[in-house]
Every structure is written in C-alpha cells, then in structure tokens.
Amino acid sequence: MTDLAHASVAELSRLLDAKKVSAVELAQLFLARIESHRALNAFLDVRPGATLAQARAADARRAKGETGALLGVPIAHKDIFVTRDWASTASSKILAGYMSPFDATVVDNLKRAGMVCLGKLNCDEFAMGSSNENSAYGNVLNPWDPTAVPGGSSGGSSAAVAARIAPVATATDTGGSIREPAAFSGVTGTKPTYGRPSRWGMIAFASSLDTAGLMTYSAEDCALVFNAMLGFDPKDSTSLDRPREDYTRHLNDGVKGLKIGVPKEFFGAGLAPDVEAAVRVALAEYEKLGARLVEISLPNAELGIPVYYVIAPAEASSNLARFDGVRYGHRAATYADLVDMMKKSRAEGFGPEPKRRILIGTYVLSHGYYDAYFIKAMQVRRLIAEDFKRAFAQCDVIAGPVTTSVAFGFGEKAADPVAMYLADLYTVPGSLAGIPSMSIPCGFGAKGRPVGLQLMANHFEEAKMLGVAHAFQRATDWHRRVPAGC
C-alpha cells in the first residue's frame, strides 16, 4: 500500500474511496507525526479530540454512501483563519488563547467538504514577515535545514507540508506569504485571484491584498482542494460573484504551443546565481515540453516593494485598530483610565513588526502625507497592474524566480527590516495586481536548500496556471522530494 504519510490528497482520496484506510486512521497517523516533529514548531494548537471527532463524522458520512474527493482527508489551517474548535491567535500575544465563535468561510467550506482539521499553524504575527521570525510563539524550522528559515508569513504551513505532517495546509498571501515560504520549504504554494477566496474570518492584515490559498505537494492537489475552498461569499464585500469552477479541468492540457513570458526585470543583479541556474533549467524543461519562451517586460515591477510598504501598512494600521483591549484579546492588568487601558493593552499585546507597520501606516495616511504617499502608491499600483495586462497580451503565463536567494539563516535579516522586505521583490507585483500566482519546487541551490519557480497567470486563469504547473510536475520529480527524516 502507498506510504500514507507521503501520499498526495489525490491518492488519499482514492484510498478512502476504496476503503483501504479510514478518516480516523489518517487523522491518527498525522497527529502522531505532528507529535514526532514537534521540534519544527509548525503547530500552535493541536486538539486530538476535536480532530478525531471530525474524522469520525467523515467516516460516518462515507458509511452512509456519501463520496467526495476530500471527505476524510486531513488539512491544517494557518492561524490567520478563525476556527471554533481551535484557538485563533494570528501568532500574536494580543489574541493569546482567543476562541472564535465561528469558523472562517474558507475553513467552513473545507469542513463541509469533509476535510478533517489537524490544528492551527504558526505564522508571522498578523502575517507580517518573510521568515516566520515575527511569531510571538517562536521560530518555525525549515525541515530541509533547521538552521534556515522556512519563509513567511505562512512558514508553519510550508514546513508542515514539507515535513509531511499535513498533506495540505491553508495559507494566506498578502505580498508573497504563500509563494515565498513554498519556495524556501520546497512545496507547491498557490495564491488564487484576489477575491476568489472569501476573506470572512481571515484575520485582516491588508484588506485589498489578503488572499487565501494553499500549500500542497502538487498542483493537482491544489486544484482538488480549490474546488471546495473557493467561491462567492455574500459575507465578504470584496468576494467575486462568479460561478464555481472545476480547477482540475486544465490539468492535462500540456503546454504545447503555450507562450511563457519571462520578465527580464526578474533576472537582474539581485538574483542569486544558484536560484537563477535552477530557474533557467526549469524554463528549458518547459521548452522541451513544447512551450515557447518569450521575453517580456514589467517595467514598474521594481516599484512593487515601496508601493506595497505604503499600502499594506496603511491598511494594517486601520485593521489593527480593532485590537483595543475592549472587545476581545489581551487587556492590560492595570491602567488609569480608558485611553491608558488601550495604550497599555496594545503596547503589551503587539510585537515589534505590527507596531512598526501601525506607525508607518498611520504616518502615510495622515493629513499632509496622504497625497504624497498613499495616493501616489495607489497610482503606481495601477501602473504595475497595467504592466501585467500588457504582458498577458503577449503570453499565456509568466514564469520566473520566486525569491532572490534560497532560504536564509535565522537572524540573518531579522535586524534589518528593509532587507527582510526585499525578500518579496518578485512576489509583491503579482499581489498588487491581484493575479493568481504560485511557486513550484524546481531544484536545490546553496547548502541543499530548495528553489521555487514562480508561475503567474491573468485574473481568473488559475485553472490554466495549475495545468502549466502540472505539466512540469508530470515531467519532473522535484515536488516529490522529501527532507531527510520526514
């Protein structure tokens, strides 16, 4: 029988269908693996009782004759999604132990499809970061190399999937937080079009950018889970009211005759040679499979980081205003009056990175600076989106590196916020444009650390993008490599 811990969602689904394994057995297996890989610090909250209750419910549904690709398949959720049966903290002290009265729509959709929740995954505080070093609950280790960061902010999600302690995990991407950790941890990380997944119950960071997505072993698994996860949600005012889609429909289309745009700006001086080499080999593989590479230009992409670091903190400063010690979350033990209570609660509850963002955001939104920074950033954001529009007139998908280097070591960038912000140089432009984008494993670079290939597609073309990824994954086995001891 297939080695269950290394089986894909598609394989687990077939085994459940064939009654070769039960949802309870799968839940027990992964709960045991979570325990034996505790040192990774990927999970923040594990409650075997709640997990096994969901697994028993899935088995009962199957016993009654119900089928469904995901019925009984385990999943873990980034601790940015609120969950009724597990604490929801956004990896912040300000929400320590917080129990939500409801499940996020993404969580709920997957639960209805019968997925069994394994628990909540560590991340950067309020999804702010690129290394998971901003979590109030400690670093997550990269399963490929415990001296390297797993990437962030969805570092718990990428590490859990890389170490095969969860077959799939939810994640969120505001400026790169799915693709960057996927690249650093050697897994497939996919962000759909902004507005496809509901943001309801996703603890807000930057509302015009926040997009839920997945860490999986493969593009095929991602398509299967997207089928249940994505869709219109009347509870989210930015949710797109479009018909449901079958995201698996282009998986076997191949890439013959496809035009792959290669942005010349993504291969500049900042790109490490080991990453460039692996990405070039991957691009050559696509040529072998019948695709044509065309050089494209995204002239405003280099402005992505400064634009993002105005818009995202501006939105964050507003979103984080709700943590005031009154409604929920941490409240200071002693205070003089209401204002003092709010000040102390926020000072004690937030870590340094959210504080930094609140300061920047409040500054760029304040009278006198709003036009110079915020409005200007919004204008350049439009230019970046138009770059992509022009590019997609010349090609079907875009491919290039995800990150400038392989995973860096702990502490290497932690003291220099700007160096850390630059980790998202190639991911932020796609976020600002709201297009679907993903990272697939394509080799290894310095110190044996994984390299990711980024694929981007036009709005609503995630099914095509997943097909392009699947073609690569049928021809190569990078996505099947597993770290030693996992």
135 binds ligand GLN (CB under 6 A): no
Q: Interface with ligand GLN includes 377 (CB under 6 A)? A: no
Annotated active-site residue in 88, 135, 153, 405: 153
Indicate the pairing of strand 116-121 with strand 43-45. Answer: antiparallel
x/- letters, 179..218, toward ligand GLN (CB under 6 A): --------------------------x-------------
Contact of 155 with 407, CB cutoff 8 Å:
no
Residue 294 and residue 394 in contact, taking contact as beta carbons nearer than 8 Å = yes
Q: Least CB distance from residue 28 to ligand GLN, whole Å?
A: 32
Residue closer to ligand GLN by CB (options 315, 461) is 315
Answer for which of 87, 106, 113, 128 binds ligand GLN (CB under 6 A) is: 128
Is the CB of 107 or the CB of 316 nearer to ligand GLN? Answer: 316
Q: How many residues bind ligand GLN (CB under 6 A)?
A: 13
Among the listed residues 88, 130, 135, 177, the single catalytic one is: 177
Is 447 an annotated catalytic residue? no
Q: Annotated catalytic, 88?
A: no
Is the Cβ of residue 164 or residue 357 nearer to ligand GLN in the bound state? 357
| Least distance to ligand GLN, CB of residue 212, Å | 11
Select the span of 44-52, 127-135, 281-289, 450-458 touching ligand GLN (CB under 6 A).
Answer: 127-135
Residue 177 binds ligand GLN (CB under 6 A): yes
Is residue 391 within the footprint of ligand GLN (CB under 6 A)? no
In the complex, the smallest distance separating the C-beta of residue 176 from ligand GLN, rounded to whole angstroms, is 5
**CB closer to ligand GLN out of 239 and 437:** 437
Residue 277 beta carbon to ligand GLN: minimum distance, rounded to whole angstroms: 25
Closest to ligand GLN by CB, 128 vs 215, is 128
Q: Which of 325, 362, 317 lies closest to 346, judged by CA?
A: 325
Contact 111, 66 (CB under 8 A): no
Regarding 424 and contact with ligand GLN (CB under 6 A), the answer is yes
Instruction: Name the catalytic one among 8, 13, 78, 100.
Output: 78
Minimum CB separation of residue 430 from ligand GLN in Å reads 11
Question: Whole-angstrom Cα distance, residue 29 to residue 23?
Answer: 10
130 sits near ligand GLN (criterion: CB under 6 A): yes
| CB closer to ligand GLN, 357 vs 464 | 357
Site string for ligand GLN, 136-175 (x = CB under 6 A): -----------------x-------------------xxx
Q: How many CB atoms within 10 Å of residue 299?
A: 14
Q: Is the dihedral of CA 176, 177, 181, 187 positive or negative?
A: negative
Closest residue to ligand GLN in the complex (CB): 177
Task: Count Cβ atoms below 10 Å from residue 378 Cβ, excluding itself.
Answer: 15
176 counts as binding ligand GLN under rule CB under 6 A: yes
Residue 297 known to be catalytic: no
CB of 457 to ligand GLN, least distance (A): 18
Q: Is 127 in the site for ligand GLN (CB under 6 A)?
A: yes
Q: Which residues are catalytic?
A: 78, 153, 177
Which chain residues interact with ligand GLN by CB under 6 A?
A: 127-130, 153, 173-177, 205, 312, 424
